[in-house]
Chains A and B, each alone.
Chain A
Amino acid sequence: MHKIKVRINGRDFEDEVDSRLLLVHYIRQKARLTGTHVGCDTGNCGACTIIFNGKTIKSCLMLAVQANGADMTTVEGLAKNGLHPIQEAFMDRFAIQCGYCTPGMMLSACSLLQTNPQPNEAEIREAIEGNLCMCTGYQQIVEAIQYAAEKTRK
């Protein structure tokens, strides 16, 4: 067992964890933040995407002990003083069907818009290439990210 200290969505957590505990299981089971999902176990689907020290990672590919000292944002941390523009855009542009990919998808989109506030369609598609959506065929997700970027410009 190892002692870890992490910050998730601005809140500090301190826990004793097994060395083999996956970060995604820590987030879901210990921190009880269940918006981060598991879809493939191999880092392909992106349902477990979180922002880790400013960059997106797939939390099923990291151990909880490796996150010691890290500052993380999960989907539950997106809304501050009302919904984040990307959350509004996903709703306004019908980017959601079953909702399972949505948290990871939105975090990848946020990460893109932070580094490239006015992406073109190809850049958007590339930014979410690591996030699988089985329902939408991606088009309304791409449109939502474009819309969020446009709204920010205005």
Chain B
Amino acid sequence: MLKLEEILVTRNWVGKPVRRKEDTRFVMGVATYVDDLDIDCHHVAFLRSPYAHARILKIDTSKAEALPGVIAVITGQEIARQTKPVVPRAFNKPAVQYVMAVNKVRYVGEPVVAVVAENQYLAADALDLIEVEYEALKPVVTIEDALNPKSPLIFEEAGSNVLLHDKMVHGNIEEIYKEADLVIKEHFKVHRYSSTPLEPWAIIVKYERANDSFVVWSNDQQHGRSIVNVCHTLGISTDKLRFIVPDSGGGFGVKLALWPYIVTLALLSKKANKPIKWIQTRTEHLLGGTHAPDADVEIDLALKKDGRILGLCIKDIQNDGSFVHTTGIYGLIKFATMSGCYNIKATSAELVSVVTNKGPTVQNRGVGKPTMIFVLERMVDLAAKKLGLDPAEMRFRNFIQPGQMPHTTPSGEVYESGDYPECLRKGLRHLGYDEFRKRQKDLRSKGRYIGVGISAGVEPGTSNLGYYYTSRGVPEYMGNAEGAIVGVDYDGNINVLLGSVDSGQGHATTTSQVVADMLAIHPDRVSMTNQLDSIISPFLGHSGVYSNKFNDVDLGAVIMATKKVRDKMLRIAAHMLGVDRSKLKLKDGTIYSSENGAKAVSFKEIASVAYKRILLLPEGEEPGLKEIAYYKTPFAKMPSRENFNIQITHSNSVHIAAVEVDVESGSIRLDRYIIVHDCGNQIHPEIVRGMAIGSTVHGIGASLYENFVYNEDGQLLASTFMDYLKPLSVGLPNFEVVHMESPCPYSLLGTKSAGEGGAITSLTALANAVEDALSPFGVKVTSLPLAPEKVVKAIRETKEI
């Protein structure tokens, strides 16, 4: 692995909060999201199922087709004749599902008919003219429904609504439990929520008649895989699909699941022979585009009397709704954080995934790890209470110590660096923990209930893709990687093309900082194309923006490609100047001799030789100054049930929430919120701070407000932002972010991930704080969200939220 001093020749930009390159177009209102593209399109609208579970008996589209302005119509039956079913990733049972409903609908909002019309108003009119006859079936809504053998089957061919059931034990769990002084058990329920990017899914597809191919513009997060999925489903070769990703208004994992709609639009664009556009409405987004699954988790901890946690067992049941592509993937990923920040010797995990008539699920920010840290960190507080220990002390007694890094968890996850105890110490000092406890006592005597909640979380980055295939043999994807092209142009300026796309992370900015320090130039001379185009940009099956992979592999590719360009410029400069390469240095866009500063050539002069005056190149040197590199995670393990890593790097944080609960109304006020965050070396501290706060607010929204409530018929009762409540500017505190930097020994710049963190650790900080505030009432928190009506009921009757 390259050393930091071999990579960076100056230290002027990495680590500095420079202005973001992306922002000029955003503040001017001239960014180009899919719907802003100036392409003359017809518009698509979907008729969606009003039933959670029903057979489709008859569809009559004749009146819609006769409406002036309607161009084309397609039904699920037609889709099934022209495409292959969606391929599951994590389970083996047969479960046939197409990109639209065929014969049967499985959730409210499932697409049944798609219409193309001249504009979106006419397309909506046409939907009203379609007649569909359904035979309603009994819906399967909850996990209990799914597990009941008398319930109808979502996929009859699977023979069960349980599509995945696996058990994995790591370490000597039986011995560990024998050593334990006590075992505590609890049962938790986590509801459905979603990070809901502000820009919904958006797709344009243009059919190219000349060569029977398609051009797709979409805000897809993982185009590397989506290209494969779309082409496979359509039965076309991958050269028939050009994929372009322009600006994207947030992703958070939710835009990993839009590719089935590209399939439908491709067929319709061919039928209409015109570019067609679908911009998802917010209601469509909330109905089916898509959720983190709701979960039931039983967990027990094997403890010593002194508070040490020896082992843990979980039984994790995910309600994965009705999309076979993601069904089952929320289970195994919990191993990335299963033992949290603690030195736990053995774990046992029974993982169950059920399908129901709830909407589809997708890898929402944190993917299962928020649930894992929620149940674990709740248990740590419950154990502390049981043992008469302070919750902070309980954590100090169990933390992996900095001297024990790198630490390998029982299942094989490698935590590379970090000082977990110091993070908590810093957080407690920052809060003034002891004073808080005194104030809490005083206020209680006055009938006011404040509480503090601590949560310590491991926040992994970069998926070792394919981990979910432990039951399916050799996976189609494994490891993780990204590609980059770095070129020096005629003027000696640098342009970078990356296989990944930006959906708010500031990739162009951080890339320019790194390249600037690698080439000793100003970041203004480094540009990054903001649009990914599959026929121009480098990409792999892994390409995209997900699982915090940017720092680990995307920048790795940028660094390796920049190094190739730098090496080539040094070779050309050495030849031009007649100076040995070892004597050359870089400064302000020139390469000069360290022994005679007058001997210097600018990047522009080198480019002139590389591109134009090519006879002046050294013997055997190729013309041109553009290099491609791919960088793969060097430490990804092969899939194996005994020893695997789900993710590649592991940031960590401590969250401390101070709340006041109004015991009459059940409302929760956030007084203070401290985030002590360690993502290794930081390239841009203000981007990191924004990510830490933003991701934390996703967890706060999930804990306090957001909830996809379904009634017993499987109807979603929160299908607009009027009833699916997001956090607002009012009601949030000023977050106090404390950075720690424990460099990662396994990444090129010592960085780790920064994108998902807060969404993982925050759920429990609030839950623990609320339970602490309500301790005089003996209230225990075993579920989310912490809705006011649940809080009031717990205080007055149930003693359990």
What is the bound-complex CA distance between A135 and B692, given in angstroms? 10
Query: What residues of chain A lie closer than 8 Å to B252, measured between beta carbons?
Result: 134
Q: In A36-55, which residues have CB < 8 Å from any B CB?
A: 36-42, 44-45, 47
In angstroms, how far is the closest chain B Cβ from the Cβ of A10? 15
**B377 interface residue, CB < 8 Å from A?**
no
| Total number of B residues with any Cβ neighbor in A under 8 Å | 59
**Are A76 and B28 also in contact (CB < 8 A) when A91-B20, A137-B696 are?**
yes
With an 8 A cutoff between CB atoms, is A116 at the interface? Answer: no
How far is it, in angstroms, between the C-alpha of A3 and the C-alpha of B17 when the chains are bound? 50
Q: Which of A91-136 contact B (CB under 8 A)?
A: 91-92, 94, 96-103, 106, 121, 124-126, 128-129, 131-136
Q: Name the distance in Å between B672's Cβ and chain A's nearest Cβ.
A: 13
Whether A32 is near chain B, meaning CB under 8 Å from some CB there, is: yes
B contact face: mostly helix, strand, loop, or mixed:
loop
Q: Are A41 and B690 in contact (CB under 8 A)?
A: no
Contact A96 B27, CB 8 Å, known A40-B721, A132-B726: yes
B80 on interface, CB distance cutoff 8 Å: no
Tell which of B173-181, B192-200, B642-650 binds the partner.
B192-200
Q: Is the CB of A35 within 8 A of B30?
A: yes
For the complex, give the distance between the alpha carbons of A34 and B29 in Å: 7
CB neighbours (8 Å) of A147 from chain B are none
Knowing A96-B23, A98-B250, A125-B730 touch, does A137 contact B697 (C-beta < 8 A)?
yes
Report the count of interface residues on A (CB-CB < 8 A): 56
Answer yes or no: A1 CB below 8 A from chain B CBs.
Answer: no
- Are B693 and A103 interface neighbours, CB within 8 A? no
- Cβ-based interface call for B445 (8 A): no
| A40 to B31 alpha-carbon distance, docked (Å) | 19
Known: A42-B720, A42-B722. A98 touches B690 (CB 8 A): no
Chain A residues near B200: list those with CB within 8 A. 39
| Chain B hits for A20, CB < 8 A | 121
List residues of chain B with CB within 8 A of the CB of A129. 728-730
CB closest chain-A residue, reference B196: A134
Instruction: Tell me, in angstroms, the Cα distance from A79 to B279 when the chains sit together.
Output: 29
Contact A134 B250 (CB under 8 A): yes
B121 cross-chain contacts in A, Cβ below 8 A: 18, 20-21
Chain A residues whose C-beta falls within 8 Å of the C-beta of B503 in the assembled complex: 98
Please give me the residue from chain A that is nearest to B195 by CB atom. Answer: A134
* B209: interface (CB < 8 Å): no
Contact pattern, B 250-265, Cβ under 8 Å of A = 1, otherwise 0: 1010000000000000
- Supposing A40-B282, A103-B29 touch, asked if A137 and B20 sit within 8 A by C-beta, the answer is no
Does the CB pair B24–A91 fall under 8 Å? yes
CB proximity of B40 to chain A, nearest CB, Å:
11
- Is B29 in contact with A98, judged by CB distance below 8 angstroms? no
Give the Cβ gap from A130 to chain B, nearest Cβ, in Å: 8
- Residue in B17, B19, B721 whose Cβ sees the most chain A Cβ within 10 Å: B721
| A36 cross-chain contacts in B, Cβ below 8 A | 29
Enumerate chain A residues within 8 angstroms of B195, measured Cβ to Cβ: 134
CA distance A99 to B199 in the complex (A): 10
Chain B CB within 8 A of A56 CB: no
Interface centre among B23, B252, B734 (most CB of A within 10 A): B23
Q: Are B726 and A134 in contact (CB under 8 A)?
A: yes
The residue on A at minimum CB distance from B506 is: A97
Task: Tell me if A139 counts as interface (CB < 8 A to partner B).
Answer: yes
Find out whether the CB atom of B734 lies under 8 angstroms from the CB atom of A121: yes
Chain A CB count within 10 A is highest, among B24, B26, B687, for B26
Residues from chain A with Cβ under 8 Å of B687 in the complex: 94
Q: Give Cα distance in the complex from A106 to B26, angstroms.
A: 11
Asked if B198 contacts A100 (CB within 8 A), the reply is yes
Q: Which residues of A contact B619 (CB under 8 A)?
A: none
> Which chain A residue lies CB-closest to B503?
A98
Contact pattern, A 129-154, Cβ under 8 Å of B = 1, otherwise 0:
10111111111111000000000000
> Can you name the residue of chain A whose Cβ is closest to the Cβ of B721?
A44
Of A34, A78, A135, the most chain B CB neighbours within 10 A belong to A135
For B247, the chain A residues whose CB sits under 8 A away are 98-99
| Structural contact, A100 and B250, CB atoms closer than 8 A | yes
A75 at the binding interface (Cβ < 8 Å): yes
Docked-complex contact B28 and A98, CB < 8 angstroms: no
Pick the most buried of B19, B197, B720, B728: most chain A CB atoms within 10 A of its CB: B728
Q: Mark B238-278, 1 if CB is under 8 A from A, else 0.
A: 00000000011110100000000000000000000000000
| A34-B35, A35-B28 known; A100 vs B249 contact (CB < 8 Å) | yes
**A89 CB, min distance to chain B CBs, angstroms:** 9
Are B20 and A34 in contact, CB atoms less than 8 angstroms apart?
no
Contact between B27 and A97, CB atoms less than 8 A apart: no
B151 at the interface (CB under 8 A from A): no
Among residues of A, the one whose C-beta sits closest to the C-beta of B283 is A41
Q: Which of A21, A91, A99, A128 has the most CB of B within 10 A?
A: A99
On whether the beta carbons of B720 and A45 are closer than 8 Å, the reply is no
Q: Are B198 and A133 in contact (CB under 8 A)?
A: yes
- Chain B contacts with A in 675-702, Cβ cutoff 8 A: 686-687, 689-691, 693-694, 696-698
Q: Is B404 an interface residue (CB 8 A)?
A: no
Contact B281 A41 (CB under 8 A): yes
Q: Does B389 count as interface, using CB distance less than 8 angstroms?
A: no
A74 is an interface residue with CB less than 8 A from chain B: yes
Cβ of A97 to closest chain B Cβ, rounded Å = 3
The chain B residue sitting closest to A47, CB to CB, is B198
List chain A residues, Cβ under 8 A from B664.
none
Task: Report yes or no: A33 in contact with B29, Cβ–Cβ below 8 A.
Answer: yes
A45 touches B721 (CB 8 A): yes
Contact B20 A138 (CB under 8 A): no
Is A90 in contact with chain B by the CB < 8 A criterion?
yes
Most chain B C-beta atoms within 10 Å of own C-beta, residue among A32, A33, A36, A136: A136
- Docked Cα-Cα span, A106 to B27, in Å, equals 8
Q: With A39-B282, A83-B28 given, can you name 14 additional A-B contacts, CB distance below 8 Å? A: A20-B121, A41-B720, A44-B721, A44-B722, A45-B198, A45-B282, A47-B198, A75-B28, A97-B504, A99-B249, A101-B198, A129-B728, A131-B729, A132-B721
29 residue pairs from A and B, CB less than 8 Å apart: A18-B121, A42-B720, A44-B722, A74-B29, A75-B28, A79-B28, A87-B27, A94-B690, A96-B23, A97-B250, A98-B247, A98-B249, A98-B250, A98-B503, A98-B504, A99-B25, A99-B31, A99-B504, A100-B250, A103-B29, A129-B729, A129-B730, A132-B721, A133-B198, A134-B196, A137-B690, A138-B697, A138-B728, A139-B732
What 6 A-B pairs are tightest by C-beta distance, nearest first?
A: A35-B29, A100-B249, A99-B26, A75-B29, A97-B504, A98-B504
